[in-house]
Structure 1
Amino acid sequence: MSEASPADPAGVFGALETHLRARRDSGAKLLVPYVTGGYKGWQRAVEAAAAAGADAIEIGVPFSDPVMDGPVIQQASTAALADGATPASVLEEARELDTGVPHAVMTYYNLCHHQGHERFASALLDAGVCAAILPDLPYVEAGPWLEAAAETGLEAILLAAPTTPEHRLADLCGASRGFVYAVGLLGVTGERSALARTATEIAARCLAVTDRPVLTGVGIGSPSQAVEACDVSDGVIIGSAVVRTLMSDGPEAVGELVASYRTALDHG
């Protein structure tokens, strides 16, 4: 087993990274909400989030045996699967979206492995998705996926965990495309009452070794926590709070929630 290495030339950025770099370089803090694909009203929620100031949207493809998803996202995924959602149906619905911001998919490696790397990457691109996150695929085993994604033009986003060793972190950040996902804590997704100390620590470690946008996700439960995280990182990923709002109050309320995060980040 050999460690992965960057598969495309330095300085050549895809649509997601180009967009996020431009926003970051303009002084904005980046905001990427997560929405569970296939859940009732999810397309309207994506559109509402984009209209409220999201810089990109992360679309979850429901999976029956998730590793990273906490109870809120698991509940939404279970409901979506019960309603007949499939990877193909989520991508078909994603193809209909016209939000004006880049879309990334988050799902699990089994779906990619089952279809084949090239076919999976091509299916995402055909649906207007420009990046993918596979949280259960370790960096040290990701080489074939990174190569296939680069060859098709898909941006493969990698996760840096609080436990990622120093000798591997620079290579991981260099191999990631789109942005580096700084995992804020050891655990599953979900809102917490306070921002974990590890959230700012891992973001700072990533930013010390890369110029790529670094976004903090997992464990951010309020706009004030997002601002706290962005004291260090370039931006945040908001998942459980968005999905909880979608399930309890509907798609339009997602727009209101995202707007509250946007306002907080813009005013620091």
Structure 2
Amino acid sequence: MEKYLEVERSLIKKYRKPIWNRFIGGIKDYELIKPGDKIAVCISGGKDSVLLACCMQHLQKYTEIPFSLEFIAMDPGYNPENRALLLSNCETLHIPVHIFETDIFNIVVNEEKSPCYLCARMRRGYLYRHAQELGCNKIALGHHFDDVIETILMSMLYGAEMRTMMPKLHSQNFAGMQLIRPLYLVHEQDILAWKRYNNLQFLQCACRFTEQGARDPGSAGKRAEVKALIAYLRAQNPQVDRNIFRSAQDVNLETLISWRQQKEHHSFLENYDI
């Protein structure tokens, strides 16, 4: 059996409950795919985006919802080895990827403040633009459950606000475009298990800051700190992941001091004496 068939089979057999069912559950719960959608699946070369591509390909074969796919990968300045690995994995898994080049790494390499934020914003813009040129109305990214709960804690601890990573968003800069996250309910530990089971090797991040971080453990970033914190808390309480996630869905407005919706700010004092 060819490698890509083995990998596809593992999604609906061995990892049906932890990966496939949660993938389908996220799409249904958050209404991520509509009839007639043309979706650009964005592949960075990492485990999450490649898993997403495999899931989306399999779904397209058997779903009753008619939609089409494009698979796009942006090379922001990868070294030759990383680019070769990305393309090799796509070939092995029969993912018909369109790769295009940008100069993002050279642009942000000397940025002293928030280079990762700038890089992410620029990458997102290029992906939207390229997807739109291909006639797509949505881009799909490989963010998973752990990314969501880490974002919730990061926003509280470092951003001084309560916010989360949404399962879908309308683009503010590209009219008619949306971003969707079909792996929203899939846990990272299950993605890692799927990767090991199929003996697959993927890019980690492949950016210059990550390569520097490998030499300098102190430059791992706030997300790595929050990931370690959640791992510590999980060891004390296995339900911590679920509780963090549910806290963003079961918000009791009666116990909030203040909140905002779009540009309007509200305070509990507005209705306190009513």
Instruction: Report the TM-score, using the length of structure 1 for normalisation.
Output: 0.28
Q: Which has the higher contact order (CA 8 A, sep 6+)?
A: 1
Instruction: Report the TM-score, using the length of structure 2 for normalisation.
Output: 0.28
Larger Rg: 2
Query: Greater helix share, 1 or 2?
Result: 2
